[in-house]
Structure 1
Amino acid sequence: MFKPLLSLTGGLIATMAISIAQAKPLPQEDLSVAEVLRDRALESSDAYSIVESLTVEVGPRRTGTEGDRRAVAWAQQKMKDLGFDRVYTEQIDVPRWVRGHAHAEVVSPYPQPLVVSSLGYSVATPEGGLTAEIVEFADVEALLKATPKQIKGKIAFINKRMERARTGEGYGPAVQGRSRGMRAASEKGAAALLLRSVGTDSDRFAHTGMMSIDDIENPIPALALSAPDANLLEVMLKRGTPVEVKLNVDNERLADGPSFNVIGEITGREKPEEAMIIGAHLDSWDEATGALDDGAGVAIVMETARLIAELPDRPRRTLRVVLFGAEEIGLVGAKQYVDAHRHELDNIIAVSESDFGAGKIWRFDTRLPESKFDIADQMMQLLAPLGIERGNNESYGGPDSSIFVAQGVPAFGLYQDGTDYFDYHHTPNDTLDKIDPENLRQNVAAWVVMSFLATEMEGDLGRVPTKSE
């Protein structure tokens, strides 16, 4: 299907008319190869077929489920088919949970159904459900300030709207209700929690997602509410009459069990013990096929490695693709990877992750020592023609990558346009048709430039400050 890059010989490169100025520390020859890789990705990258395969042949793959196990087997075989030199798994221990039904309805004063989804690891209601009055809070901070008397026996309703932004920066403030809301409501004696979905759409879908469940003495049912239904409750409450809602939820927490990080390597020719890690997460939520979150990322990093593997020579150091398990439930795979490889972290020259959908990449951020900025500047010579601008030096590389950065590993960040990402995030609408193949090719073109130059460069990128510094 693809033409191998066997034409990239020294003689051809020497005669190519490349409009890139000679600069150190990345030599002209490496920049020339990266340019050809970039252009090949724009012409013939087939990342779309990878994400199509994952979403069609595996589908939903929530941690600890049969779909998760199918995804692990799929990823291993796909990496072998794509020409990785080494493919292996590392077991991780994960909490498991079974999603049952979740029903909600207003019973008074204006009876009608509501569209909800259980938040990850929510407990069930008592048999037959529960009915209670709604008490509204503008955000989780308002809930934290409330007295137990205001909440006890009622359903706490956090009505925080998420702001739309290309950077996705509205997610952090809005997701606080999901990460902290159930704990706060439980401690104040609430019967249950309803949360306006953490999303930017106006569709009648609820956005699921993980809650903090550790060390909560009396967990309560917690559900996300679609945006139109959150609007409905808001307007009902403005009429001044108490609003009662009935919830009927059936979920079950299981004993912890195994999942896996899936790892594939293009082995370095000179420094195989040193590696650039590029990652994505293999798991997804269960109410869609996880095409954007994070099937697209899986495809981008796997296709990046395939293009580099087709070069006549392996890069100087190893390119390691890590498909992390259990990201959705708390970065579990990344945390356990770092714990298991703590003595090897100095050999990881940099880390990066694709986990923000499939929009066009528009910004290149870094987390590098200032003395290494010239490397990023040289990379930018090849990224700028893709419509990418230079960002800041505050990148954490992505959610899983942040665990490495906290230990001093440098990071690169290639950030997609996330304007509409949170319209689909964690909903039944996260499906393959939301991915534009042309945008995916642009992503791979950027990733292959960054990944090749990082693995081929002669020096290293040093270390960055850790959490304790």
Structure 2
Amino acid sequence: MKLIFLTTALVSYMLPACLGFPYEQEVLHQTKHERIKKVMADYKDVANAIIDLAVHGGAQNRSYNRLARFVDTIGNRMSGTENLKNAINYMYKALQEDKLQNVSLEPVKVPHWVRGEESAMMLKPRNKSIAILGLGSSIGTPPEGISAEVIVVSSFTELHNRAKEAKGKIVVYNQPFVSYGETVQYRAYGASEAAKVGAVASLIRSITPFSVYSPHTGWQDYQKDVPKIPTACISIEDAEMFARMASRGETIVVLLKMGAINNPDADSFNTVAEIVGSKYPEQVVIVSGHLDSWDVGQGAMDDGGGAFISWEALSLIKDLGLHPKRTLRLVLWTGEEQGGVGAGQYYQSHKKDISNIDLVMETDIGTFMPTGLQFSGNTEAQAIMTEIMQLLKPINITNLYGNAEGTDISYWMEAGVPGASLIDEIDKYFWFHHSQGDTMTVQNPVWMNLCAAVWTVVSYVVADLEEMLPRER
């Protein structure tokens, strides 16, 4: 190490005088790059061992089978419910039985919204039952429901341009799906925007590009100082039907009944397990997914798959008898669907240790066929991660993309900690997202094996490097 430092220092001193500063920088960059490649070459055998065990060996299909047993036993896991409590207890025991270290439950408070009985019936121009899923934090209707004429709009702009027509009516949003990030604003803010113009309720076209008559739920946010009105999502098919009827000038009347209740916050836990570092145990690489889900489907995709490949990463490392220099910490977050509530409280409890958090990893976009890794970090860290990804050539998953994402790790990344998220072929992710379709049928054991291999190789190598990933000071 000293020899490399002295050589670099000598080059830095001599070259500017005769060749100029740009050349000096190029030489330094080449030296660093060559050093990184040499270090990564030492991890080739261990990476191959991880891949072989996860994809071809005794651990093949293990994460899939564990997940199937879990969701078939527990079901969906809504924040504040007995199902979520049962899920946390299940995982606490399972992680202990897996002989992981420091298995613990860290208490947090989470929202406790209950859907209750809900229904919608179109009364005019004909009788038709409308499939709905109330949105998280929505208030309920009076017991007799709300019966009102419908106004159909395709955007917030159209709603406000037709504000006088909306008073006393139920607003139906038939917004086109552009992308989840752009279109989800209608789910999040549709109720408040409708309330601003005097509407009595809102029904929102589900945030999905495809539907087999399946509404999708999700969290919504009431704006301060705006009246709260009931809100739910409807299927694409019914939203388009309403739009066609309205375009023909037909009067549409809907009876909406929702028994939604917002209870006081409930007790819950983030579930934690570790493989303690052999040399720098105070330094930590976090691998994570969230354990809670919505109250429809099984939560197998969102985020059962992510949680279970994160568990699998520690299992594979333990099974191979590997002892990374840093601590690998599994965190199964709670209350993610309500906006990363459990993760936010975890960050507040642990941010004093921020200088020792090496990398935060979360996967929450499904465990379909993986295509690479998204990463947020400085240029030096990106160079290291690029070379780590080359260790995955045996399964041809070597791409490194920018902009890691994940509600639960965003707190750390905003504070400057490097972050990573799995990226996969998510074309169909939003077909099933937050719907009754999120079941084990969506999962594929071969894809989960590959996702686990990627997740494990990356987390282990980062945890075992002699130095932490560089970050902005």
Give the TM-score normalised by structure 1.
Answer: 0.89
Question: One-letter code of the match for 2:106?
Answer: E
Question: One-letter code of the match for 2:51?
Answer: R
Cα contact 2:40–2:387 (8 A) shared by 1: no
Aligned counterpart for 1:220 among listed residues 216, 229, 239: 229
Instruction: Give the secondary-structure state (helix, strand or coil) at the position aligned to 2:321.
Output: coil
Question: One-letter code of the match for 2:445?
Answer: P
Superposition map of 1:433-444 within 5 A: 433-444=441-452
Partner of 1:339: 348
Q: Tell me how far apart the structure 2 counterparts of residues 339 and 60 of structure 1 sit (CA, whole Å).
A: 28
Q: Tell me how far apart the structure 1 counterparts of residues 398 and 195 of structure 2 sit (CA, whole Å).
A: 45
Report how far residue 313 of structure 1 moved.
3.9
Instruction: Give the secondary-structure state (helix, strand or coil) at the position aligned to 1:97.
Output: strand
Partner of 2:132: 116
Instruction: Give the secondary-structure state (helix, strand or coil) at the position aligned to 1:26.
Output: helix
Cα contact 1:350–1:461 (8 A) shared by 2: yes
Partner of 1:196: 205
Cα contact 2:278–2:325 (8 A) shared by 1: yes
Partner of 1:327: 336
Deviations 1:398-419 (A, max 9, x none): 2211221111110122201111
Report how far residue 392 of structure 1 moved.
2.9
Aligned counterpart for 1:287 among listed residues 296, 302, 310: 296
Question: One-letter code of the match for 2:317?
Answer: I
Aligned counterpart for 1:403 among listed residues 402, 411, 414: 411
Cα contact 2:188–2:220 (8 A) shared by 1: yes
- 2:161 is the alignment partner of 1:153: no
Partner of 1:54: 70
Cα contact 2:386–2:400 (8 A) shared by 1: no
Q: Tell me how far apart the structure 2 counterparts of residues 215 and 400 of structure 1 sit (CA, whole Å).
A: 25
Instruction: Give the secondary-structure state (helix, strand or coil) at the position aligned to 2:338.
Output: coil
Question: One-letter code of the match for 1:450?
Answer: V
Question: One-letter code of the match for 2:422?
Answer: L
Unaligned runs of 5+ in 2: 1-33
Q: Tell me how far apart the structure 2 counterparts of residues 322 and 416 of structure 1 sit (CA, whole Å).
A: 21
Q: How many residues align?
A: 437
Question: One-letter code of the match for 2:93?
Answer: Q
- 2:399 is the alignment partner of 1:390: yes
Unaligned runs of 5+ in 1: 1-20, 164-169
Instruction: Give the secondary-structure state (helix, strand or coil) at the position aligned to 2:434.
Output: coil
Judged with a 3 Å threshold, the aligned counterparts in structure 2 of structure 1 residues 83 and 329 are, in CA distance, closer, same or farther, namely: same
Aligned counterpart for 1:461 among listed residues 452, 465, 469: 469
Partner of 2:51: 38
CA RMSD of aligned residues (A): 1.8
Cα contact 2:36–2:384 (8 A) shared by 1: no
Report how far residue 132 of structure 1 moved.
1.2
Deviations 1:297-341 (A, max 9, x none): 111100111001123342100001110000001110111111111
Superposition map of 1:66-465 within 5 A: 66-143=82-159, 145-146=160-161, 148-163=163-178, 170-213=179-222, 215=224, 217-396=226-405, 398-464=406-472
Partner of 1:10: none
Question: One-letter code of the match for 1:277?
Answer: I
Instruction: Give the secondary-structure state (helix, strand or coil) at the position aligned to 1:328.
Output: helix
Question: One-letter code of the match for 2:148?
Answer: A
Q: Tell me how far apart the structure 2 counterparts of residues 326 and 215 of structure 1 sit (CA, whole Å).
A: 22
Q: Tell me how far apart the structure 2 counterparts of residues 232 and 376 of structure 1 sit (CA, whole Å).
A: 49
Instruction: Give the secondary-structure state (helix, strand or coil) at the position aligned to 1:418.
Output: coil
Cα contact 1:405–1:464 (8 A) shared by 2: no
Cα contact 1:283–1:325 (8 A) shared by 2: yes
Cα contact 2:189–2:222 (8 A) shared by 1: no
Report how far residue 23 of structure 1 moved.
4.7
Of residues 239-248 and 385-394 in structure 1, the stretch that sits farther from structure 2 once superposed is 385-394
Cα contact 1:106–1:112 (8 A) shared by 2: yes
Q: Tell me how far apart the structure 2 counterparts of residues 437 and 94 of structure 1 sit (CA, whole Å).
A: 32
Instruction: Give the secondary-structure state (helix, strand or coil) at the position aligned to 1:134.
Output: strand
Q: Alignment identity in percent?
A: 32
Cα contact 2:389–2:458 (8 A) shared by 1: no
Q: Tell me how far apart the structure 2 counterparts of residues 215 and 38 of structure 1 sit (CA, whole Å).
A: 51
Deviations 1:205-225 (A, max 9, x none): 110110013645521110100
Report how far residue 192 of structure 1 moved.
0.2
Give the TM-score normalised by structure 2.
Answer: 0.89
Partner of 2:9: none
Cα contact 2:113–2:260 (8 A) shared by 1: yes
**Whose radius of gyration is greater, 1 or 2?**
2
Q: Tell me how far apart the structure 1 counterparts of residues 459 and 292 of structure 2 sit (CA, whole Å).
A: 23
